Every structure is written in C-alpha cells, then in structure tokens.
Copies of this chain bind each other. A is one copy, B any other.
Amino acid sequence: MQKLKDGSGMLNSFLGSRGDYHSAQVVMVGAPMDFTVSFRPGSRMGPGIIREMSKVLETYSPYLKGDIEDIPLFDHGDLELSFGNAKKSLEVIYSAAREIFGDEKFPVFLGGEHLISLPIIKAAFEKYGKELVVFHFDAHADLRQNYMGEDLSHATVIRRCMDFIEGKNIYQFGIRSGSEEEFVLAERKTNFYPYKVLGPLERVLETIGQRPIYITLDIDVVDPAYAPGTGTPEPGGCTSTEILHAVHLLGRRSIIGMDIVEVMGYGDPAGITGVLAAKILREALIAISLGSKEGER
C-alpha cells in the first residue's frame, strides 16, 4: 500500500499531470484575472474549473490515437496577480510568457479574461517577430480602441495587439458580435472570417505554410448551449464537435503557444464549459505534438 511519505496525494493539476518545469516541453499556467470584464466576473476561477473538470476525461485521444501522458507537460498552477491592478497583472503574465518562450518551451495559458492574451502575444512577437501569425477564435471582435474609457479591456485586446502586429497577420474566426466600427475595421485590416469557424480555418491552413502561429481561443466562440459558463455568452456559435474538429486541424501547422480564455469558474452549469475547455486543450496538445513529430521526420 502506498505510503504518505512517498509523495503527495491526488493532484488538482490538469489531467493529473505530475511533470516539472525543467523537463517539460509544455508549460501550463493559470492567469486568474477578471478585473476588466463588463458584465459578470468569475473567469478568475476558470483555471480551477478546467483542471477540476479535466478529471472526467481520459488522457488518451481516440480521435488522434495519441496520449497526453506522452507529452512532457508541467502544470505550474496559477500566477499570483495583483487583484484590481490590470497593468501590474499583465506584467506578471508577460514575465511568465517570456520565461517560457525563452526556455524554448510551449506555453499554454488558462484564463481569466481575454486581456491576459495581450502580454503573451507580445512575448511571442518578441521571439518570432513579423513571421508571427495570431489565430483568434471568438464571438467578439475585441477591436475597440477603448471600452468604457479604458485602453486595456477584455473588449480591446486584439486592437492592442494591432499596436505591434500587422492586422493581416491576425486571423479572426467565428466573430459574431461587435460595434459597427469594429466590423468595419476587421473587414479592412484583419483576415476576418465572421460567423464561421471550420470552413475558413481549413482554407487558411492551406495557405499559411509553416509560419509560427499563436492560438487565442475565447470559449464563447462556441454556442452558449455548449459553453454556457462564460462572461458574455453570445447565441449563434459553433458546436462542440466543430470546435474539436477545428482543433484537430491545427496539428498540421506550426503552433508555438496557445491560450483558452473566458471560462467562468462558477455558474458553469454542470461544469460542461470546463470539460469542453479541457478537452479542447487535450486535443490541441496531442494534435500539435503529433504534428510536430511528423514534421521531424
């Protein structure tokens, strides 16, 4: 019988992973920030519910015939952020992202609100430069210049990225909400594929080659029926089967990091949003891992 002195008990890490930072290829970090959301907070507990609900999943993907246990993964837990201070919190996230990229590892960030993607994409841009491409899956354009007087907001995050990344290197999928200005801007400046996810993604992947791609996935790109536990649910999105299929396609190209954001940590009915986010992550990580192995050959 197992001895207590020989180690710790059941962990709250993602899919029970027990890796450490140094040997890991993939580093997972929670960013429990939800200060700038306009409607209902709670995504600060998002990393928690994703980890908790990941327990209902197997580590093996029958779709891909791969197992996440074959990927050296370290779940670091959540960062300690300054509650209510968006600017400082973004600096902490930036520092973590820089460290992971600097150590040639693959970062996976769990939101938290969408604003957390800004410093990560910044760190990615500093590493990969103008080659970097961002894939943005979301119900909302997030292209406002400011929102309720704030430059830094969950509703401005992609616009802020355009301060350093050219719009044409940003691909937006599934967008179905925004102001008129945002839609005009998106149509002019970004690669904009509103309403749909799967078809446009397939076409884009044909042309994107092996440029480095960062994935930022707001769970509300999926319809609220499938992902009710989110801050600003927007009816009319894709199904769980569609988003999983989209994620499978990503294995074909060169993904260098990803985040999944806006999962609410409470008020998620029966945890179905948490488990969907966990399955998206499992499938994405296995697809990317298998894809890159294929690339090695």
Contacts and interface: CB of A to CB of B under 8 A. Distances in A.
Contact of A233 (B30, B81, B179, B270): B270
A237 B279 CA distance: 13
A42 interface: yes
Q: Which of the listed residues A48, A88, A92, A228 has the most CB atoms from chain B within 10 Å of its own CB?
A: A228
B150 A84 contact: yes
A12 B236 CA distance: 24
A179 to B, nearest CB: 5
B236 A240 contact: yes
Nearest to A271: B233
A226 B237 CA distance: 11
Given A35-B35, A180-B67, A224 B79 contact: no
Query: How many copies of this chain does the complex contain?
Result: 6
Contacts of A12: 12
A252 interface: no
A152 B30 contact: no
Contacts of A267: 266-267, 270
B270 A229 contact: yes
Interface in A71-115: 76-86, 88, 91-92, 95-96, 99-100, 103, 115
Given A29-B9, A41-B44, A226-B225, A272 B233 contact: yes
A162 B230 CA distance: 39
16 contacts: A4-B29, A9-B77, A9-B79, A38-B83, A40-B266, A58-B177, A58-B178, A62-B176, A84-B150, A84-B153, A223-B240, A224-B240, A230-B270, A235-B241, A235-B244, A266-B267
